[in-house]
Structure 1
Amino acid sequence: MNQEFTAEYWQQRYQQNQTGWDVGSITPPLREYFDQLENRDLRILIPGCGNAYEAEYLFNQGFTNVYVADVAEAPLQNLAGRVPGFPKDHLLRQDFFSLSGHFDLIMEQTFFCALEPSLRPAYAKKCHELLQPKGKLMGLLFDTTFAKAGPPFGGNRDEYRTYFAPYFDFIHLDTATNSIPPRQGSELFILLKAKTQE
């Protein structure tokens, strides 16, 4: 893990309220995907979860196996404070690359773009390792270049394909049609299915 973006770095960002990526609620593309899921027992992982409004939404909709992971303590505490019933053992203060277990769905929302770009191939591989056979990776990726040095780090769909193609079949990798106004036209909705290794 790049030492510049350590747990202490992210903890400080939360403590100093330097969280420009945080829009304060679940965003429409993610909500609409979750709303069409029927199986409330799916094992769902949200890595680099931040304040985890998505986990809060899912929990309130009756999803019982939602796990959130972050290297910083503050956002996990924030979720626990907002949703006292959220299972404490589903709050994982852990580096994504050290996680274990198997999940049916991994949700991506502003974690990929926070990683040092050199880690992107490892991210794709780790997502595949954490998913059940034919499990899915769903979420949003930025389809833009940022003027300032990251994080967040930008990218584009052709670049992303190179990372995910070895491990996933592509169901969707399309411009999101229902992004929040500040992100209109600069987000890709992804839905990828884990390949079964021969």
Structure 2
Amino acid sequence: MAAYTGAIIYTACRKTFTCDNGLEAELLACREGVELALHRTQLPFVVVELDCAEAVMMTKSPMQNRLKYTALVQDIKGMIAESMREIVSAHISHSHNKVAHGLAAYGRCAPRIAVWFGPGTNEIGWGSAIHRQQQPYQSAYSMATVLLDGSNPAVVRVRQLIDGTESSDGWTRCWEEGLTPWDLGEPTPAVVELVKSGTLPGGGGTTATVLVPGCGGGYDAVALSGAGRFVVGLDVCDAAIQKARQRWSSISPDGNFIAFVNADFFTWEPPKPFHLIFDYTFFCAIDPSLRSAWARRMYDLLRPDGELITLMYLVEGQESGPPFNATVLDYEEVLNPLGFVIVSIEDNGVAVEARKGMEKMARWKKMAN
């Protein structure tokens, strides 16, 4: 079992002596996983990953379509109902379940029940392989949560916590619970490419100021800093800002290149306007009723010759959010009336796998209004 950050909480295996087929084995493993999660953690939100779609359906369906496994399925549902926690099952591909298969192989050759805190002991011999498998956005769970829509159990939980336009408490709960499916755990690849392109302001003896609203863990803010750029990472969630400060304090301990500020984007007043603002998954995270206010703040926070870069996550078909449905037209409708003009727009060719084809990078110039 791993936290969303990739940290391994415990590793376990059990040899099953009576099992008729793969479906029964998967349901037995599900019951064991739920029981361990309830007894050994206080996590309020748990995703149980299964590579058997039928097992996932049985744990979610109210129908008793397999009489042979009724008692087993009822055990699972009963534990979940009594736990008063958010526990959901999710289907993942067979290829993403290598760690579980490795533990199963160990259980077959060493007929015992074993639970280790962390990735295991030297008895397994491949604890480091588990650790590598469970790093953020390399594990099966991480890969599942990269997709930010209603099919993702983590997104469903985020939507439960963030209800309405006054949602700062909800975002704080997300960070406190480690429920941040939007967080790649590393700089966004498109940001890395932007820095390499040499087209960003700053350098050559001049210093440009950059704002990253909704900066979260600060990866993109740090990637944009330096080389003639001073970056402010802004977030309404104090827990996110504290994590960012702790993680990156050694990068710029004297504050020469970066600062993290806990404030509301819609009310915060910086000393001076910025040369550049970078927005990624911030526009689609706020309630659509706030988009006009978002555009006005972008205008007010930029210098007269400033630039806005929006890495657009163009999700559609969502009944609620975040992320809320977004199109290029949605951006244009609120930015164009203020005098913003698109200088360039292109598909994000370096998007993470689950977001490919859903993102566009647009660069906007602030013109006289």
Supply the AA of the counterpart residue of 1:52.
Answer: G
Q: 2:171 aligns with which of 4, 10, 25?
A: 10
Supply the AA of the counterpart residue of 2:357.
Answer: G
Q: CA deviation at 1:99?
A: 2.1
Give the TM-score, by structure 1 length.
Answer: 0.89
Distance 1:38 1:196, change over 3 A: closer
Equivalent residue, structure 2, for 1:90: 259
| Aligned 1:31-42 pairs, distance under 5 A | 31-35=192-196, 36=198, 37=200, 39-40=202-203, 41-42=207-208
Give the match's secondary structure for 1:20: coil
Equivalent residue, structure 2, for 1:119: 290
Q: 2:239 aligns with which of 63, 74, 80?
A: 74
Supply the AA of the counterpart residue of 1:44.
Answer: V
Equivalent residue, structure 1, for 2:314: 143
Equivalent residue, structure 2, for 1:49: 215
Q: 1:106 aligns with which of 272, 277, 287?
A: 277
Give the match's secondary structure for 1:124: helix
Point out where structure 1 has 5 or more consecutive residues left out of the alignment: none
Point out where structure 2 has 5 or more consecutive residues left out of the alignment: 1-162
Whether the aligned pair in 1 keeps the contact of 2:201 and 2:208 (CA below 8 Å) is no
Q: CA deviation at 1:64?
A: 4.8
Q: CA deviation at 1:33?
A: 1.2
Equivalent residue, structure 1, for 2:153: none
| Aligned 1:18-33 pairs, distance under 5 A | 18-33=179-194
Give the TM-score, by structure 2 length.
Answer: 0.50
Distance 1:74 1:164, change over 3 A: same
Distance 1:190 1:126, change over 3 A: same
Equivalent residue, structure 1, for 2:96: none
4+ residue runs of structure 1 moved beyond 6 angstroms? none
Whether the aligned pair in 1 keeps the contact of 2:210 and 2:276 (CA below 8 Å) is yes
Which structure's relative contact order is higher, taking Cα pairs within 8 Å and 6+ residues apart? 1
**RMSD, matched Cα:** 2.1
Deviations 1:80-129 (A, max 9, x none): 11111353993221110112230000010111111001111111111011
Deviations 1:19-43 (A, max 9, x none): 1111111122121112223624210
Whether the aligned pair in 2 keeps the contact of 1:26 and 1:53 (CA below 8 Å) is yes
Give the match's secondary structure for 1:113: coil
Give the match's secondary structure for 1:22: coil
Q: CA deviation at 1:153?
A: 0.9
Q: CA deviation at 1:3?
A: 4.9
Q: Distance in 1 between matches of 2:307 and 2:239?
A: 28
Q: Distance in 2 between matches of 1:4 and 1:133?
A: 29
Q: Distance in 1 between matches of 2:312 and 2:166?
A: 19
Q: CA deviation at 1:149?
A: 2.3
Distance 1:20 1:102, change over 3 A: same
Q: Which has the larger radius of gyration?
A: 2
Question: Percent of counterpart pairs with the same letter?
Answer: 29
Deviations 1:170-190 (A, max 9, x none): 112332222111110001111
Q: 2:359 aligns with which of 174, 184, 187?
A: 187
Tell me the number of residue pairs that the alignment of Structure 1 and Structure 2 aligns.
Answer: 195
Deviations 1:13-69 (A, max 9, x none): 00111111111111221211122236242100011111110112233x445521111
Whether the aligned pair in 2 keeps the contact of 1:146 and 1:153 (CA below 8 Å) is no
